[in-house]
Amino acid sequence: MLRSGWVWEKVPIGQRVGARWITYTVLLLAAAVIIALLLPTRYSLGLLGTLGYLLNFVIALVQTLFYGILALILNLLSRLFPDWPQQPPLPTEDSWPRLPANVPTPTAADFIQSLIFWGVFFIVAGYVVIQFLQQHPGLLDELLRLPGISFVARLWRRLRAWFGGLNQQIEDLLEARRRARRPASPRPASAPRRWINLRKLSPRQQVQFYYLAMLRRGSEHGHARRPVQTPYEYARTLESQIPEIDRDIDGLTEEFIEARYTRHDIPAEHVGLVRRYWERIKRALKK
């Protein structure tokens, strides 16, 4: 497809381009074959089997805690009431149901391999889906309009709001106790700033946050903004020091000016673009 586009636009194509593509393709396939050979593909547990064993482990853990507490209560009652009727004997191991001999029993190594494999699989798959939806915000809006998904989304928002409110109440209670234990003192200028939850900020506030983060990080690396400089003047100064990210600095500056000095709504997709600008600027400043 790229070659067809280049031919249509009459762009000259170097002779080494095709050879490099073939080389990279062979290396990619070789790496995929090696990874496939190293993956634990010989275990007998699939996704449902792995989830089943994981659920059984959690249930067994809860039962162990419950029976431990129950045993302590019964021991206390037996000391307080010696005439308490004895409990019937527990079933022995011989009376437990057994699986047929021809059913393979997975080992602990099989379960651990399956858990690692499916965990990595869902992490990678979830990351890919999130990145794809961030690049196509219109698709996410269409998906959220579906009847079933919209119901799940509303339920998830309500749960997040409920847990968020509960978490805020716990934080307020802990903060009130801390304030009651220590005398009030003015906050020093060098004290670390409180962590900000970006999800609670509006798109306009998030854009301004990333621009202020650029100013703060630039000041830490010797590129402080002078009070008399406008955003455009500071962008020119920073670009002269780090020319490889001039487009990112221009983009972040334009988005900040739009968020700071206009009144129309800032689209949510602009936040993702500004975040990518900031990530590249931050990496360049670290160098």
Give residue-wise pLDDT tens across range 167-212: 777 777 777 777 777 665 555 444 445 566 777 788 899 899 999 9
Tokens at 194, concatenated: 């409180």
Between residues 68 and 79, which one has the greater pLDDT?
68
Decide if 278 contacts 218 (C-beta within 8 A).
no
Give residue-wise pLDDT tens across range 85-113: 555 555 555 655 565 555 556 677 777 87
The candidate with the shortest Cα–Cα distance to 218, out of 190, 191, 239, is 239
Residue type, 103: V
- 70 pLDDT exceeds 70? yes
CB atoms within 10 A of CB 252: 26
The candidate with the shortest Cα–Cα distance to 60, out of 71, 72, 68, is 68
CA–CA separation, 261 and 146 (whole Å): 37
CA–CA separation, 273 and 269 (whole Å): 7
Single pTM value for the model: 0.35
Q: Check the CA dihedral 5-8-11-12 and report its sign.
A: positive
CA–CA separation, 69 and 67 (whole Å): 5
Helix (H) or strand (E) holding 51: helix 47-80
Decide if 207 contacts 271 (C-beta within 8 A).
yes
CB atoms within 10 A of CB 213: 15
- The Cα angle at residue 161 between residues 157 and 167, in degrees rounded to 5: 140
- 32 pLDDT exceeds 60? yes
Helix (H) or strand (E) holding 216: helix 203-220
Tokens at 100, concatenated: 């047929």
